[in-house]
Amino acid sequence: MSATIIIGAGHAGIQLADSLRTRGHDRPITVLSAESELPYQRPPLSKDYLAEGDPQPLPLRGTEFYHDHEIDLRRGTAVTGIDPRTRTIGCADGTRMHYDDLVLATGSRNRRLTLPSAQGPGVHYLRTAADATLLHDDLDHATAAVVIGAGFIGLEFAAAAARRGIDVTVVEYGPRPLARALTYATTDQLTVTHRAAGIDFQFDVQVSAIEHAHGRVSAVVGHDGRRFPANLVVIGIGADPQTDLAAAANLRIDNGIHVDEFLRTSDEHIWAIGDCVSFPCTHAGTRVRRESVQNAVDQARALAATLTGTPTGYQDLPWFWSHQGSCKIQIAGVGGPTDRTVVPTDPTTGKFSTFRFRDDVLVAVESVNQPAVHLAARKVLSAPRRPSLTDLTRAGFDLKSLSARSAAISAG
């Protein structure tokens, strides 16, 4: 009987197993997870999980799910190698398994700060439930935290820590937070909101050392010699794809595991989905790698269709969210550095959206505390014909009415 093996039990791997069963795949499915926990949702780890109390990871599915759907979930099982010639994988415990289709859903790993001093008690990275538990426990004793890197994880942590009354300083190499992901309109207002919540931002600072005293972290030192005292440090400077297994199996790597639009790697029996892949993206017009729940889940759904006999190219609209203190940030679509941006409502109200246009066509919408605008944006941007700046100006930038109207036209 032909067998499907999935390496990785994050959003991508578990959604794939679920969607395969939903679509009637009736052959053996094995999911291999290097972690020991029941597969869980990662996004809450940098948000709700950091509040006071005794948080529990939110499982992706209940324990019965794996039993009821005959999914052989093997926790604590690290894969050590893939042999594409014999279509077998080897595990750290010595097990060898044969596959007909192998799916790599190996995710990404934190980029490490390459300083010898960037480790030890009080210095944290955040990715896994184990990381989050260590950080959560350490927060009980923290009074001053320094966050290195003003990315999504760093800012989500900063907001959660400030809410707990901890002094927070964010040290960022660039001139503003989230520079690659968001427009100035959004990051400017975000910076104002975070500062009002007591978070101190230090931009254009390169970290040159982390100091320790009495067996614990004591300060972060910038290239200009400034010291930022801390008894807790969180490093969030980005992530890299987990490509070691793929590279060792001689699969093509290109800023992630190289896959075609059907999510197939350079080996015809090996597929890859989620954070670990680079794929041709119709929305970006180029090959990209994305780290998001949406990307993981929608690629899993597309691949499940392909593996059950309906070849399906992945082309879903990218979307993303981040919850930082009082700001719920949601992004739909793909912006670019040369976009024209329009902000129709006053950002200082704390509820606003930034519309991004390329060649006068809407390509992305960033919303802060406007979840309904975000959902309407996803509908509008997924439609075959996207509105122009003129269309939106005429509609008073009311995406909800625009999406209702286009739905009525296509239905009628």
Partner 1 sequence: MPKITFHQPDGRSDVLDVPDGTSLMRAAVTNSIPGIVGECGGQAMCATCHVYIRSAHLTDLPDVGEDEDEMLDCTATARAPQRSRLGCQILVTTTLDGLEVDLPESQI
Residue from 65, 99, 125, 152 touching partner 1 (CB under 8 A): that is: 65
Q: Give the shortest CB-61-to-partner 1 separation in angstroms.
A: 6
Q: How many residues bind partner 1, per CB under 8 A? A: 27
Distance CA 373, CA 343 (A): 13
Question: Among residue numbers 368 through 387, which ones bind partner 1 (CB under 8 A)?
Answer: 369-372, 374-376
Residue from 23, 28, 37, 59 touching partner 1 (CB under 8 A): that is: 59
Q: Give the shortest CB-317-to-partner 1 separation in angstroms.
A: 13
Is the CB of 243 or the CB of 330 nearer to partner 1?
330
| Best CA proximity match to 237, nearest among 174, 300, 296, 288 | 174
Binding mask 269-308 for partner 1 (x = CB under 8 A): ------------------------x---x-----------
Residue pair 241/274 in contact by the 8 Å Cβ criterion:
no
Is the CB of 62 or the CB of 120 nearer to partner 1?
62
Q: By CB under 8 A, is residue 321 in contact with partner 1?
A: yes
Q: By CB under 8 A, is residue 58 in contact with partner 1?
A: yes
Q: By CB under 8 A, is residue 152 in contact with partner 1?
A: no
Is the CB of 132 or the CB of 207 nearer to partner 1?
132
Residue from 106, 108, 189, 330 touching partner 1 (CB under 8 A): that is: 330
Distance CA 255, CA 86 (A): 27
Q: Give the shortest CB-104-to-partner 1 separation in angstroms.
A: 23
Is the CB of 16 or the CB of 60 nearer to partner 1?
60
Q: Give the shortest CB-376-to-partner 1 separation in angstroms.
A: 7
Q: By CB under 8 A, is residue 395 in contact with partner 1?
A: no
Question: Among residue numbers 28 through 47, which ones bind partner 1 (CB under 8 A)?
Answer: 41, 43-44, 47
Q: By CB under 8 A, is residue 153 in contact with partner 1?
A: no
Residues of this chain that interact with partner 1 (CB under 8 A) are 41, 43-44, 47-48, 58-65, 68, 293, 297, 321, 323, 328, 330, 369-372, 374-376
